[in-house]
Amino acid sequence: MIGPVEATLIIPAIAIPILALVSSYRLGASLNILASAMTLSAAVALLFTAHPRSDLIIIDDFNIFLVVLTTFVGFTTSIFSATYLAHEIEIGRLTPLFLRFYHAMYQTLMGAMNVALVANNIGLMWVGVEVATLSTVMMVGIYRTPEAIEAAWKYFILGSVGIGLAFFGTILVYLVAQEVVGDGLPAMSWDLLVKSAPMLDPQLLSLSFVFLLVGYGTKVGLAPFHAWLPDAHAEGPTPISAVLSGLLLNVALYALLRFKIVLAGNAAAINVGAIMVGLGLVSLMFAAFMLYRRRDIKRLFAYSSIEHMGIAAFAFGMGGPLANFAGLLHMTMHSLIKSGIFFAVGHIAQVKGTQRIAAISGLSVTHPVLAVLFSLGVIAIAGLPPFGMFTSEFMLVSSTFARQPALSVVLVAGLLIAFGALILRLQDIVFGEPIGKAHPAQASYIPAYVHLTLALIAGVWLPGPVVQWFRGVAALLG
Amino acid sequence: MSQLWFDVAHLLAGGMLVLSFALLYQDRIAAVINVFALQAIALSLSVAWQALVQDAPHLIVTAAIALIVKGFVIPTALHHIIRQMQIHREIEEVIGSGLTMLTGLGLVALSILLVQPVGEVSIYVREDLAFALAVILLGLLMMITRRNAVTQVVGFMSLENGLVLAATGAKGMPLVVEISVAFSILIAFIVFGIFVFRIRERFDTVDVSALDRFRGERSDA
């Protein structure tokens, strides 16, 4: 019997060979949208069905919200991707053959992320993250320019090393759990790991977390393991930048948080929270300063992703109901807003024919609709009200101030520095003398506006059930 | 039984570690590939031995995959590729091989220290893990010190050899994971093939330092 959980995995799996075989790129793009929509509806159906646990699959409040978010952004990105790719075909940057490959990889990525999210087994989750990484490596290199190949190569090497170390950490966790839970699959299940956490050997568990942190931390893009991230975002097709930033980073952070729950259950293990606070702040400060020196528009927002992942890691590191709530909201808002921004940036880069910020001045004159969309996105990502990111950052700062005033000073400084950089760049791009080409925009604005509207709704009025849900997950995270 | 178990497992894992060191200083690309093939064979023997003593017949599959794919298929294909690209006689300068070897020794010491806490679980597991971790770290070191795309990937595959060694040393670890590791090796190889052909197409070299020209921010485009 195929339930909605299986459907979120099977639909992409069926779509992969079909998309690889369809030779018309228009049909391929439509089928890609269709498959993403079906996966999304399966994910929504998850909300209304019961989920018995098995040794391989688990559905709880924490991952159900991420599955819905992932499939939703996957769906909107597939719509954006269709118009984006039509333009790339038109200017001859990609050929239809590459698009077949691209669409198959897109569904591979979606399916792999769902595997990682719904897995109850730490090994299966690892496989999901690994396959997702490899599929994005392929897509980052798809333009085959020297820059794209360098970016993909760097991403491949750093990502593989990270994922290798994460696997070693996974083996260590199994070794620890095996002593308590017994051999085989149960010793790799999240729920049993959490249940038996107090009895696990604390020293070995702490050691395993070091590997997991470096491994999955590389995928989250936390400084100092972030070197692959800006290149991969800047050189790949923009729809991929959107799903990388909006989804894959979240999935990796999710993996880390799952392990954090296990370690938090063991009193004698290292304090994971303190490490995450440290790495989060380093990422935030580093990225905030780096934002000023960016000359490439996609690189700019790649560094902004490092910044926001740092903020989320900081929030979860602080822990407690309020900070965890803020962290969850921040992850969600970042997914929606950042992918929305990348939709806008993709169209901007297409109409201007360049990603160089210096060559994109005066957007408000040449493309007013895009300019408004882009400005709203930047305002939202900079953390200004009334968007949801303001809410999450405000909650985080206030809860930090109550507990660790010194840390909140650093946090606020980082937020303000990043804010300044983004507003400066926004002025450069939107206002000023119009420079460069002014192709008419061939864009689908709907996905980006939907994302920003959701972020706006979250900022003005967060619906009651969502609040309840986030509270439940925040309690789960401890 | 337990003493013999210990000795043979040590011998094979130790053999892999020695080959990891050989990979570090070997400067001819063709020889690097041969050493890697040897390491894969040592790995498959080690996994087969684990299958025997753990009474876990499914590990034989992992051993066979290691032997066939990593011991023969991939090295053969790599030889073919480097011959096609005419770099099979090329000598790659290994940066400060003396220093690299010393760093490697340091990494081995580090792995022994790191897995110290495992002693409370089981001494056999501990020594096995120390070997595996050392192989992983040396693979990492090789990836850092090499500039050539082919040897970097060999470093990565040697790292994954260490991962398989660790996974099979963990008693009763489910098969799912082992197959996935072997599978990921295969994928890694495909990725590598695509990359090398693209790199070759664009640069006429597989020296990764050729990529450095395109580092960081682009001046235009």
What is the tens place of the pLDDT at every residue in A208-218?
Answer: 999 999 999 99
Which residues in chain B (90-119) have CB-CB distances under 8 A to chain A? 114-115, 117-118
Is the confidence at residue B13, as pLDDT, over 80? yes
Q: How far apart, in whole angstroms, are the C-alpha atoms of residue A333 and residue A454? A: 9
- Count other Cβ atoms within 10 Å, centred on residue A423: 14
Q: Is B144 or A129 the better-scoring residue by pLDDT?
A: A129
Question: Pick from A150, A183, A203: which is nearest to B171 by CB?
Answer: A183
* Cβ partners under 8 Å of residue A144, min gap 6: B198, B201, B202
Quote the pLDDT of residue A350.
86
* Cβ partners under 8 Å of residue A294, min gap 6: A300, A303, A357, A425, B217
**Sign of the alpha-carbon dihedral angle for A246, A114, A105, A122:** positive
Q: Is B98 or A397 the better-scoring residue by pLDDT?
A: A397
Closest residue by Cα to residue A256 from A161, A164, A169, A157: A169
Is the confidence at residue A415, as pLDDT, over 90? yes
Q: Is B55 on the interface with A (CB under 8 A)?
A: no
Instruction: Residue B160: list chain A partners with CB under 8 A.
Output: 164
What is the tens place of the pLDDT at every residue in A349-380?
Answer: 888 888 888 888 888 888 888 889 999 999 99
DSSP string covering A270-316: --HHHHHHHHHHHHHHHHHHHGGG--BHHHHHHHHHHHHHHHHHHHH
ipTM: 0.83
Q: How far apart, in whole angstroms, are the C-alpha atoms of residue A249 and residue A220? A: 5
Closest residue by Cα to residue A306 from A248, A367, A240, A220: A220
Quote the pLDDT of residue B138.
93
The confidence band for A254, taking pLDDT boundaries of 50, 70 and 90, is very high
What is the tens place of the pLDDT at every residue in A313-351?
Answer: 999 999 888 999 999 999 999 999 999 999 999 988 888
The whole-model pTM stands at 0.90
Q: Is B97 or A166 the better-scoring residue by pLDDT?
A: A166
**C-beta of residue B175 within 8 angstroms of C-beta of residue A111:** no
Quote the pLDDT of residue B113.
87
Q: Which of B62, B150, B177 to mutate to test the interface with A (most CBs of A within 10 A)?
A: B177
Quote the pLDDT of residue A305.
94
What is the tens place of the pLDDT at every residue in B124-163?
Answer: 677 888 899 999 999 988 888 887 777 888 888 888 888 8
Q: Please report, rounded to a whole number, the percentage of residues in chain B having pLDDT higher than 70.
A: 70
Quote the pLDDT of residue B218.
43
Q: Which of A57, A142, A157 to mutate to test the interface with B (most CBs of B within 10 A)?
A: A157
Quote the pLDDT of residue A37.
93
What is the tens place of the pLDDT at every residue in B170-219?
Answer: 777 775 555 556 556 655 655 565 555 545 544 445 555 555 554 444 43
Query: Is B118 in Cβ contact with A356 (below 8 Å)?
Result: no
Structure tokens that stand for B33 in this block: 């590939």
Q: What is the mean pLDDT of residues B85-110?
A: 79
Quote the pLDDT of residue B156.
83
Q: What is the mean pLDDT of residues B32-47?
A: 92
Name the 3-class secondary structure at A434.
coil
Quote the pLDDT of residue B179.
58
Quote the pLDDT of residue B207.
57
Structure tokens that stand for A20 in this block: 């690889």
What backbone phi and psi angles, to 5 degrees, belong to B28?
-95, 130
